[in-house]
Structure 1
Amino acid sequence: MIRRPGRPGLKADSTRFAILGSGSASNGFIFESGDFSFIIDNGYSLSEFRRRMKQLEYRESKLAFIFLTHHHSDHFKGVETLSSTLGIPVVTHQNMPLEKYCKKPGLHRLDILPGKDYFFDSLKFRCFETSHDAQASVGFHFSLNDLAFTIITDTGLVSDEMMILAAKSDYLFLESNYSPELLHKGPYPEFLKRRILSNQGHLSNLDAAVSMSRLSEMEDLRLKKIFLCHLSEKNNNVEKVKEEVQRIYKGRIPYGICPRNDCLSQNALIRSA
């Protein structure tokens, strides 16, 4: 278990969250409770990260951890610099070969394993394996005070474990990476199209809609809203997500679509449709 000396000021009613940015270029999420916060992934330079934090009115002095899903650059590009600059550890799968992608030795990392629960103050979390072409790729499920979250991106398959954890969450961040139509018609070479379409690639708009439909039929469902995110730069757009998701999904869970690269506050996310 991850344990550190307690911090003052952690209040259940102060939990908040935001997307620093989402898409095929760069990604980052932030979650905060009182004077404690953490981010999941950081694909931004230090200056751009700080600009986005300021825009969303978050303070980097509160950051205690960087959680990392995998080593692809749109998630990892800014992690090493941020970790060394702020002196905070990177929490990730113990088999993730981060040092291979670091520019300097000595990255401060805290290793975890899928399926185990970890605790830090008001945070309880676990990681789960994702199906992606990156070694030891994971997603995260966690509760912060009285709110529970699951992040499912960068996976070619949605497992039963992911579905169960998502159903236990208040909010789900779910990949809706590409439109099959746009991908097939688009400029990518065939090998890259096959990679995206594979079981170790990404979830399409249709895949996301099927998962949402399955969730909507589950018993004891806790979900308040689903946020469709990680839209491809070349093979998707908000209008296409709406069109293709609505073709399949008729469920009872509200959802919103996160435009590429936008900073989105908690209020903006909850209002999104």
Structure 2
Amino acid sequence: MFRYAVLGSGSSANSYIFEYGNFSFILDNGFSSREILRRMEKLSFNPDHLEFIFLSHIHSDHLKGVESLCFELDLPVVIHENLDLDKYTKGEINRKLSVTPGREYTFRYLSFIPFETHHDAPSSLGFYFRLGDISFTVITDTGKYDPSMIAYAEKSHILFLESNYSEEMLMTGKYPPYLKERIRSDKGHLSNFQAADFLKEVTGSERCMIEQIYLCHLSKNNNSVEKVLSEIGKNCSNNIPLRVCDRGESVSGIPLQARRSTLVPGGSSSLSSYSEISAF
């Protein structure tokens, strides 16, 4: 059985969990180990089933709790091949799995393809996953989207997409000009209107397989659930169910009965044993 949840999302801390039977993994952890385990327990996820932590990038709202959770549960962390993770941690993560953007990797029930995002953090990644028969894409912390992101989203049953800020709230807010420009830049975040444009393009395609959309990573000061709904509306999702994840909220995923998906063609690497993982 496939299960998933947004354990938390927003400006302060982000984390997602995905489970298939007794196999699960986490993407990002901006929470303390104690808090992330509390959130997992509340939603009935067993930490003993965790096999990996995937890291999108090194900003603290995604990285802060990764090292402690890796240490506590003896987990490997999946990172961009060009990322020197020890520069941003205490150097206590013993097992790192370096992956190449655009390449397919498999391990047991899981297949995934990392892809580069456009953000002001080195070696930032988004991910296209297939776990069992369910495919899903996570795209956050990117100042713009590109054709590869569109292609991965179209092939997904579930889409997790950043809708970080309201242009109106940002420009009329108290942030200094340099910070406003950083957020609005091609290395910043997606606005509500950019997320709407993305969804219109993806869901308007005949190839679109999406059955559920989650809008996430809302700014604390420059967005709200109500603002997302008013600026994005329902038309852009082409009647696909859409859920806006409020800041700090844990959202249990809606079960899906999805058809088998196919990964985007490309090079493939098998991660068939922990000895191979440890060699990275």
Flag whether TM exceeds 0.5 (same fold).
yes
Query: How far off is 1:217 after superposition?
Result: 1.6
Q: How many residues align?
A: 257
Spell out the pairing of 1:50-61 with structure 2 (5 A cutoff). 50-61=37-48
Distance 1:225 1:121 in 2: 25
Aligned to 1:46: 33
Spell out the pairing of 1:219-238 with structure 2 (5 A cutoff). 219-238=206-225
Task: Kindly indicate whether residue 208 of structure 2 is the aligned counterpart of residue 217 of structure 1.
Answer: no
Structure 2 residue ranges without an equivalent (≥5): 257-280
Aligned to 2:79: 92
Query: How far off is 1:149 after superposition?
Result: 0.4
Distance 2:92 2:71 in 1: 11
Query: 232, 238, 242: which is aligned to 1:245?
Result: 232
Residue 129 of structure 2 aligns to a residue whose secondary structure is strand
Query: 108, 116, 125: which is aligned to 1:129?
Result: 116
Q: Which moved more, 1:252-261 or 1:91-100?
A: 252-261
TM-score normalised to structure 1 length: 0.91
Per-residue CA shift, 1:76-103, capped at 9, x if unaligned?
0000111111111000101112111112
Q: Which moved more, 1:139-148 or 1:239-248?
A: 239-248
Residue 159 of structure 2 aligns to a residue whose secondary structure is strand
Aligned to 1:101: 88
Task: Kindly indicate whether residue 31 of structure 2 is the aligned counterpart of residue 16 of structure 1.
Answer: no
Residue 72 of structure 2 aligns to a residue whose secondary structure is helix
Q: Which moved more, 1:170-179 or 1:244-253?
A: 244-253
Distance 1:107 1:261 in 2: 29
Aligned to 2:149: 162
Residue 183 of structure 2 aligns to a residue whose secondary structure is helix
Distance 1:105 1:245 in 2: 42
Aligned to 1:68: 55
Aligned to 1:196: 183
Aligned partner letter, 1:33: Y
Aligned partner letter, 1:175: E
Structure 1 residue ranges without an equivalent (≥5): 1-13
Residue 16 of structure 2 aligns to a residue whose secondary structure is strand
Distance 2:93 2:190 in 1: 34
The answer on whether the counterparts of 1:80 and 1:107 sit within 8 Å (CA) in structure 2 is: no
The answer on whether the counterparts of 1:209 and 1:248 sit within 8 Å (CA) in structure 2 is: no
Distance 1:65 1:198 in 2: 32
Aligned to 1:257: 244
Residue 131 of structure 1 aligns to a residue whose secondary structure is coil
The answer on whether the counterparts of 1:206 and 1:248 sit within 8 Å (CA) in structure 2 is: no
Per-residue CA shift, 1:208-259, capped at 9, x if unaligned?
0000100122122111021100000110000000110028726343311111
Distance 1:231 1:24 in 2: 7
- Quickly say closer, same or farther: Cα 1:259–1:177, change in 2 above 3 A: same
Residue 202 of structure 1 aligns to a residue whose secondary structure is coil
Distance 2:234 2:125 in 1: 29
Per-residue CA shift, 1:145-200, capped at 9, x if unaligned?
11000000000111100000000000000000000011011121111111000000
Distance 1:262 1:246 in 2: 21
Q: Which moved more, 1:241-250 or 1:160-169?
A: 241-250
Spell out the pairing of 1:113-152 with structure 2 (5 A cutoff). 113-152=100-139
The answer on whether the counterparts of 1:97 and 1:135 sit within 8 Å (CA) in structure 2 is: no
Distance 1:251 1:236 in 2: 23
Query: 155, 165, 170: which is aligned to 1:178?
Result: 165
Cα RMSD of the aligned pairs, angstroms, is 1.7
Residue 166 of structure 1 aligns to a residue whose secondary structure is helix
Distance 2:171 2:147 in 1: 29
Distance 2:4 2:199 in 1: 22
